[in-house]
Amino acid sequence: MIRHCGRAGVLLALVVLSCAGLVEAHTHLKTSSPAAGATLANAPTEIRLQFHEAIEASVSHVSVETKAGQAVAAGAPASDPSDKTALVLRLAEPLKPGAYKVNWRVISADTHKVKGSFTFQVRP
Amino acid sequence: MELFWPLLVARWLHLWSLLALFGAALFAVYAPPGGADALDKFKAWLAAIALASGVGFLTLMLVDMTEEVDSLFSPARWHALLLDTGFGRIWLLRLLALAALLLWVGGRRGRPDAWHVDAALSAALLVSLAWVGHAGAGQGADGFAGMFAYGCHVLAAGAWLGGLLPLSFALANARRGGDGKRLCAALERFSRLGMAAVALILASGILSAGLNMQGFADLGRTLYGRALLGKMALFAMLLALAAANRWIFLRQLRRQAGLGPIRALTKTVAAEHAIGLGLVALAAALSSLAPMD
């Protein structure tokens, strides 16, 4: 009985763990500026990502690329000093008209990695 | 590059070794005289496993965060991880404390009275995990309550689950002709400590679940909830075995000083430990999963 109980315990742990899958998201992207799917009349000078939890900027990554996959020049992402849940990427120069994709990978304060991407357009 | 499973295994080993270390240190409180001496080598191994799994966890975390194996050879990346992040600084302090603990436990000889140093250091290492997990991400009163609940939870779990391996050593000693009365006394003390630990585990577990989840519906809906259900099921099994130990086998041992009850206790304690390993694995999984997903 005891042996069965032990085996059942280990089996249950394995079954539940196997249900876990490759989950990594803890915080979530709440809003962004530009917003996902937005079409802008004025070219943005920065990308601002707002999350639910505090983000560690020094180990996070944000990049912008053109529709052709060419990287847009920008600095390193930095925290907003007044809001640790926001990450800001300053662009080297205003974007030219066209479609852009923002790729982000952030580490929340509880050490978990979250990543995603979204697109927006700048009108001619 | 996804390193969910290697990270989970590292978390599991780290948590288990620290729980076992804390429980082994407390064992001196209720162990038969001399029982704690033999634990020194065992505790040194546990400290080594905790340090190795901690270093392994940080190494895996760096690769996972940057998604580049080359990061391991970049001093700038290590600097950013260990010194520019809040959790990195805590991990660095924890690794230094673990190295000190390993040197302390591995280097001393004939100091069985030093259990309080081992207990204090391993307790600090367990509780400090709160700052690098879900509890540490909370804000204000919720954050404080989460860290308090986590601290109580791991200390109570360590006192109970961590005491099982040293208890197995005491049972093995009794099977080889050791003093049955001393074993009885140790088992009774362990049982009383276990009951207090169970109450604390339940209370702090309910508080943590309340802080991390939105309602009972999450138990079946989210992966976190399912892992928590599994943990509760294993906990119920542990309780059943602990009850059998206390109210059946320990009573038999008091009535008849023979090998029968000791053999039965050896098996139930081994089963408790096997279930405890699964339970700690689920605790590590809960640390890796998002409560809302």
B35 has pLDDT over 70 = no
Name chain A contacts of B279, Cβ cutoff 8 Å: 9, 13
Q: Are A107 and A27 in contact (CB under 8 A)?
A: no
pTM, two decimals, is 0.85
Instruction: Please provide the DSSP assignment of B256-280 as one string.
Output: --SHHHHHHHHHHHHHHHHHHHHHH
Of A6, A24, A109, the CB nearest to B86: A109
A21 has pLDDT over 50 = no
Residue B56 exposure: Cα atoms within 13 Å on the Cβ side: 18
Q: Are A59 and B87 an interchain contact pair (Cβ–Cβ within 8 Å)?
A: no
Q: State the DSSP code for A95.
A: P
Q: Which residue in B58, B81, B85 has the most chain A C-beta atoms within 10 A of its own C-beta, making it the best mutation to test that interface? A: B85
Residue B102, exposed/middle/buried by CB under 10 A (0-12, 13-18, 19+)? buried
Give the DSSP H or E segment for A20.
Answer: none
Q: Which two tokens stand for residue B243?
A: 């009850």
Please give the residue of chain A at the shortest CA–CA distance from B227. A16
Q: Are A108 and B137 an interchain contact pair (Cβ–Cβ within 8 Å)?
A: yes
* Rounded CA separation B92/A90 (Å): 31
**pLDDT tens string B7-33:** 999 999 999 999 999 999 888 777 665
**pLDDT tens string B115-153:** 788 889 999 999 999 988 877 666 778 888 888 999 999
Q: Are B241 and A21 an interchain contact pair (Cβ–Cβ within 8 Å)?
A: no
Please give the residue of chain B at the shortest CA–CA distance from A27. B290
Q: Which residue in A110, A114, A115, A117 has the most chain B C-beta atoms within 10 A of its own C-beta, making it the best mutation to test that interface? A: A110
In which band, very low, low, confident or very high, does the pLDDT at A17 lie, cut at 50, 70 and 90? Answer: very low
Angle at B17 between CA B14 and CA B19, to 5 degrees: 105
Count Cβ neighbours within 10 Å for each residue of A98-109 and write b for 16 or more, e otherwise. eebebebbbbbb
Give the DSSP H or E segment for A114.
Answer: strand A113-122
Helices then strands, counting H and E runs in chain A, come out as: 1, 8
Please give the residue of chain A at the shortest CA–CA distance from B236. A9
pLDDT, averaged across chain B? 87
pLDDT for B211:
80
Count Cβ neighbours within 10 Å for each residue of B71-86 and write b for 16 or more, e otherwise. beeeeebbebbbeebb
Give the DSSP H or E segment for A80.
Answer: strand A78-80
Residue type, A95: L
The stretch B234-242 carries a mean pLDDT of 93
Residue at token pair 């367990």: B126
Nearest partner of B244 among B187, B173, B161, B186, judged by Cα: B187
Please give the residue of chain A at the shortest CA–CA distance from B9. A17
Q: Which two tokens stand for residue A114?
A: 């979250």
User: Who has greater pLDDT, B212 or A18?
Assistant: B212
* Rounded CA separation A15/A85 (Å): 35
Name chain B contacts of A6, Cβ cutoff 8 Å: 270-271, 274-275
Name chain B contacts of A111, Cβ cutoff 8 Å: 61, 87, 132-133
Q: Are B282 and A25 an interchain contact pair (Cβ–Cβ within 8 Å)?
A: no
Nearest partner of B163 among B248, B43, B251, judged by Cα: B43
d(CA A89, nearest CA chain B) in Å: 17
Nearest partner of B245 among B219, B224, B267, judged by Cα: B267
Give the DSSP H or E segment for A15.
Answer: helix A2-18
Q: Are A59 and B85 an interchain contact pair (Cβ–Cβ within 8 Å)?
A: yes
A70 has pLDDT over 90 = yes
Distance, CA of B16 to chain centre: 4
pLDDT for A91:
95
- Looking only at the bridges linking them, the beta strands covering A61-66 and A98-107 are antiparallel
Name chain A contacts of B271, Cβ cutoff 8 Å: 2-3, 5-6, 9
Name chain A contacts of B293, Cβ cutoff 8 Å: 23, 25
Please, which residues have CB within 8 angstroms of residue A102's CB and are 6 or more apart in sequence? A32, A47, A62, A63, A64, A117, A118, A119, A120
Percentage of the residues of chain B whose pLDDT score is greater than 70: 92
Residue at token pair 């905790």: B50
Q: Which two tokens stand for residue A82?
A: 């007044």
Give the residue ranges of DSSP H helices in chain B: 4-30, 39-66, 75-83, 86-107, 115-127, 134-137, 140-161, 164-175, 180-212, 217-221, 223-244, 250-255, 259-288
pLDDT for B125:
96
- Looking only at the bridges linking them, the beta strands covering A39-40 and A113-122 are parallel
d(CA B102, nearest CA chain A) in Å: 26
Q: Are B85 and A107 an interchain contact pair (Cβ–Cβ within 8 Å)?
A: yes
Tally C-beta pairs within 8 A across A and B.
Answer: 118
Q: Are B80 and A25 an interchain contact pair (Cβ–Cβ within 8 Å)?
A: no
**pLDDT tens string B42-89:** 889 999 999 999 999 999 999 999 999 999 999 999 999 999 999 999
* Residue A81 in contact with partner chain B when CB distance is under 8 A: no
Q: Are A24 and B86 an interchain contact pair (Cβ–Cβ within 8 Å)?
A: no
Nearest partner of B9 among B49, B69, B65, judged by Cα: B49
Q: Which residue in A7, A55, A59 has the most chain B C-beta atoms within 10 A of its own C-beta, making it the best mutation to test that interface? A: A59
